[in-house]
Amino acid sequence: MKRPLLRSVSAAIDGDDAAGASQTVRAQLRLRELILGGALKAGERIAELAMVERLAMSRTPIRTALVRLQEEGLLETLPSGGFMVRDFSEADIRDAIELRGTLEGLAARLAAERGVAASVLVDMRDCLARIDDVLAAPRLTEASFSRYVAQNARFHAVLGEMSGSALVQRQVDRVATLPFASPNAFVMAHSSGPQARDRLVIAHAQHHAVVEAIVQREGARAQALMQEHARSAQQNLAVVLQSHRALQRLPGASLIRPASKR
């Protein structure tokens, strides 16, 4: 049992660790926002001290955040030290999408083969129902579209949990952070226009089909459906790259390498 003094010291250390982690997360989110928003351009060197001044934060969380963004794939290390904002070819993006589909397909197959905890299935059913409610309206408002985005991210996160494998779940979560590979990467680019709701209805029908295959313990079918669902992002990518208007709505579009340089 810890003595009172040791307990107070331990609590202070835990508090410092939590505060440091919070600062790092804030720095990571802010830097990612600057990159995806185009304030930091592809090929631009990230000067640590400049970011300290720009974000009004200390060097430690900035340095840690830069390393994490490098692990996410948004930055690359320079031979001379430091980091540079990456650019991405169409092939890079397609590979990232394919990787997500492979991992999510595995998660779906494992969920079907191993069975899913009742509490997790309830969570997934609730997620599906909430998206059903959003898409029940004939047209989407900005608010309802935002609800769809949130629940769509939740669907993919819960799918990883359904696998019953902490390792698979971590990898599914990690691949979703790859640039342009997240489940919502191309959703925002299609948020306007007469077909916006139709695309989401089709995607959500696939959500239901995957969960039904899992419940029926059809592993191969669940895997194939989930991979096909992820690959629809490949079609969305092609559409976005051909539409200047859609490309303007895509977060991080400035990071995509022009066709002439691919």
- pLDDT band with cut points at 50, 70 and 90 for residue 17: low
- The pLDDT of residue 220 is 98
pLDDT of residue 73: 87
Pairing of strands 83-85, 75-77: antiparallel
Which range of residues forms the domain containing residue 249?
90-261
> Does the pLDDT of residue 11 top 50, yes or no?
no
- DSSP characters over 186-230: TTGGGSSSTTHHHHHHHHHHHHHHHHHHHHTT-HHHHHHHHHHHH
Q: Are residues 171 and 241 in the same domain?
A: yes
pLDDT tens, residue by residue, 122-147 = 999 999 999 999 999 988 888 888 89
For tokens 């925002």, what's the residue? 188
Residue 194 lies in a domain: yes
Confidence of residue 13 (pLDDT cuts 50, 70, 90): very low
* Statement to judge: residues 107 and 232 lie in one domain: yes
Return the H-helix or E-strand segment holding 84: strand 83-85
Banded model confidence at residue 10, pLDDT cuts 50, 70, 90: very low
Residues 79 and 102 in one domain: no
Q: What is the pLDDT of residues 178-226, one digit of tens each?
A: 778 888 887 766 555 557 788 899 999 999 999 999 999 999 999 999 9
What is the model's pLDDT at position 3?
52
Tell me whether residue 4 is in a domain. no
Same domain for 119 and 197, yes or no, is yes
* Domain finish residue from 85, 119, 142: 85
In a domain, 2, yes or no: no
107 and 72 share one domain:
no
Given the structure tokens 């202070």, which residue do they identify?
Answer: 12
Same domain flag for 104 and 81: no
Entry field: residues in the chain: 262
Q: Do 112 and 61 share a structural domain?
A: no
Q: Does one domain contain both 148 and 220?
A: yes
In the sheet that 75-77 helps form, which strands lie side by side, from edge to edge? Answer: 45-46, 83-85, 75-77
pLDDT in tens, 55-114: 999 999 999 999 999 988 899 999 988 899 999 988 898 998 999 999 999 999 999 999
pTM for this one? Answer: 0.77
- Binning pLDDT at 50, 70 and 90, where does residue 20 land? low
Assigned domain for 173 exists = yes
CA distances, 241 to each of 40, 72, 121 (Å): 21, 23, 37
CA-CA-CA-CA dihedral for 247, 133, 210, 206, to nearest 10:
-40
Q: 203 Cβ partners below 8 Å, 6+ apart?
A: 152, 229, 232
200 and 76 both lie in a single domain: no
In a domain, 1, yes or no: no
Find, among 153, 105, 155, 99, the residue nearest to 125 by Cα.
Answer: 155
pLDDT of residue 80: 86
Which pLDDT tens digit goes with each residue over 226-257? 999 988 888 888 877 777 676 777 778 888 88
121 and 250 assigned to the same domain:
yes
pLDDT of residue 127: 98
Is the same domain home to 98 and 58?
no
Q: Is 3 part of a structural domain of the chain?
A: no
72 belongs to a structural domain: yes
Q: pLDDT of 154-181, one tens digit each? A: 999 999 999 999 999 999 888 888 778 8
Overall number of domains in the chain:
2
CATH number at 32 reads 1.10.10.10
